[in-house]
Structure 1
Amino acid sequence: MSSLSLHIANGIARVILNRPERHNAFDGALIDDLEDTFGLLARDAAIRVIVLTHSGHNFCAGADLEWMAQTAAKPEAENRADALKMARMFQAINTCPKPVIGLVRGRAIGGGVGLVACCDIVIAAPDASFCLSEVKLGLIPAVISPFVTAKIGVSQARRFMISAETFDAATALRIGLIHQVSSEEEVLTANLITGLMCNAPQAMAEVKTLLTEVADKAIDDNLLSLCADRIADRRASREGGEGMQAFLDKRKADWVPDV
């Protein structure tokens, strides 16, 4: 794939945005490649952790404006189909059952912020900056709005989607878009991966599903029943049994790699 590079080793997949000459902006090929790649990685039991990063200085400049102009000129049905394809790409990343670590340097604009929002853990370099710039172009961040709003909340989304102001890594950390700011992102990522590889793969996948089921829900008997079902299922699962027994036996669980 020319728009993406994919490197897999020891259960770790590195997905690298690879359009540096266009600041890794989305076009049809990159959208297809991201959706296909995350779909394949989601189904590969050998993959334990995914790292999403980029070549070049900037993380992602959002949609390539030349490509966007071409889609806008299409008949309405085709224009909408292209937008839906992009939405499904973000959803493929957002719902991927593997932990997704995002590494961000330089600028993340528009859909680039959407990518950041879809990652489970995000480390940004001190020089990173972010902007939901769509209204400057007479557009709206419609496709990414569910993912960004879920990450930073309605109040912050209203501010930054309406103002289209650029904000720095410290602000992104404060509002919850990212989780850490560091110039040693690769070292931190290596440490994160070591920890993630010690966790039960299916349990981590189910945490991601659980959060979509409980987020913003009223705490009532239905929600309490759902949560009780989830932990009861986990206790009775093979992973749950292995994890508890390994703890009692003072040994590593069978999913922990030998080092």
Structure 2
Amino acid sequence: MFETIRYTIDAKGVARLTLAQPQKHNALSAVMISELTEAAVRLSADAAVRVVVLDAEGRSFCAGGDLGWMREQFEADRSTRIAEATRLALMFKALNEIAKPVIARVHGNAFGGGVGLMSVCDAVIASADARFGLTETRLGLIPATISPYVVARIGEGRARPLFMSARLFGAEEAREAGLVTSIAAPDALDAAIEAEIEPYLQTAPAATGRAKRLARSLGQPITEATIAATIEQLADCWESAEAREGVAAFFERRDPSWRQPPLP
């Protein structure tokens, strides 16, 4: 049994993979990382599954990294940080390589790792009032392990300002960037998901999976070397004075030294 996620499969072969930590805004903890990795492997291998819907309980889709997990990284040595970042990177890799169509149902906030989860899905249906952000630089960090998937989805040009500025943005901008496939009113989100699912129930399952692999093979390659390089960059970043200041300020609920007051 899983602690932080749930998944069900209906008679049509539609699997629902649900982030189930609403009290923590579905932030990615060590346990959730392990459980999502295991679920991805199971769903990919299950011949009964035709489509996967990734959704979440509560007010947020995924608010990024769990505070407890982040504190552990702040206090860990380099080898431990690399090991944890590798587990996170392999989770995104496993989700990205599910041999079925994966549709994200996004509502509320999707920050940091939440944007990473969206980026490994094949289609993203977002509520019109959802908010997004790659907020890592506010802490003196970088969006390292998710970066190959975000760049593959929206391109380097779109990614650069979002990676650097850490600003929040809405569903319309997310769609323009290519992060979101379509937008639905909050009360129409489930109907939009059902409409997105339907075509996949009419296609040959094995051919659908092969078509996904074909598309991935023609896109920007995300190799083991690429993943390892992003992990090394994250480890370097964690050791910087900026990261120590940014993370400490976050936990102490104060502004970091570099933050300037907003312009009048």
Pairwise CA distance, 1:103: 0.3
Question: Aligned residue for 1:13?
Answer: 15
Q: Please tell me whether the aligned partners of residues 16 and 55 of structure 2 are also in contact (alpha carbons under 8 angstroms).
A: yes
Q: 1:166 aligns with which of 162, 168, 172?
A: 168
- 1:197 is the counterpart of 2:198: no
Q: Describe the superposition over 1:96-147 as per-residue Cα deviations: whole angstroms up to 9, x where unpaired.
A: 1110010000010000000011110110001101000000001000000000
Which sections of structure 2, spanning at least 5 residues, go unmatched?
222-264
Q: For residue 8 of structure 2, give the secondary structure of its aligned residue in structure 1.
A: strand
Q: Secondary structure at the match of 1:57?
A: coil
Tell me, in whole angstroms, the C-alpha distance in 2 between the residues paired with 1:119 and 1:84: 20
In 1, distance between residues paired with 2:14 and 2:206? 16
CA shift, 1:192, in A, is 2.1
Alignment-derived partner of residue 223 in structure 1: none
Indicate how the Cα distance of structure 1 residues 191 and 141 shifts in structure 2: closer, same or farther if over 3 A, else same: same
RMSD (CA atoms): 1.2
Q: Percent identity?
A: 40
Q: CA 1:216–1:26 in 2, change beyond 3 Å: closer, same or farther?
A: closer
- The 1-side partners of 2:189 and 2:99 are apart by 23
One-letter identity of the residue aligned with 2:111: I
Q: Offset at 1:160?
A: 0.3
- Equivalenced residue count is 217
Letter of the structure 2 residue corresponding to residue 53 of structure 1: D
More displaced 10-residue stretch of structure 1: 158-167 or 190-199: 190-199
TM-score, scaled relative to structure 1: 0.81
Structure 1 residue 193 displacement after superposition: 1.8
Which residue matches 2:213? 209
Runs of 4+ in 1 over 4 A off after TM superposition: none
Which letter does structure 1 place at the counterpart of 2:203? N
Match of 1:76 in 2: 78
- Structure 1 residue 216: Cα displacement: 5.2
Distance in 2 of aligned mates of 1:213 and 1:47: 23
**Contact 2:152/2:220, CA 8 A, preserved across alignment:** no
Query: Which residue matches 2:151?
Result: 149
- The letter for the 2-side match of 1:80 is I
Shift of 1:151: 0.4
Q: What is the distance in 2 between the residues matched to 1:145 and 1:12?
A: 29
Cα distance in 2, alignment partners of residues 215 and 31 from structure 1: 26
1:185 Cα offset (Å): 1.7
User: How do 1:23-34 residues align onto structure 2 when only pairs under 5 Å count?
Assistant: 23-34=25-36
- Distance in 1 separating the partners of 2:179 and 2:16: 21
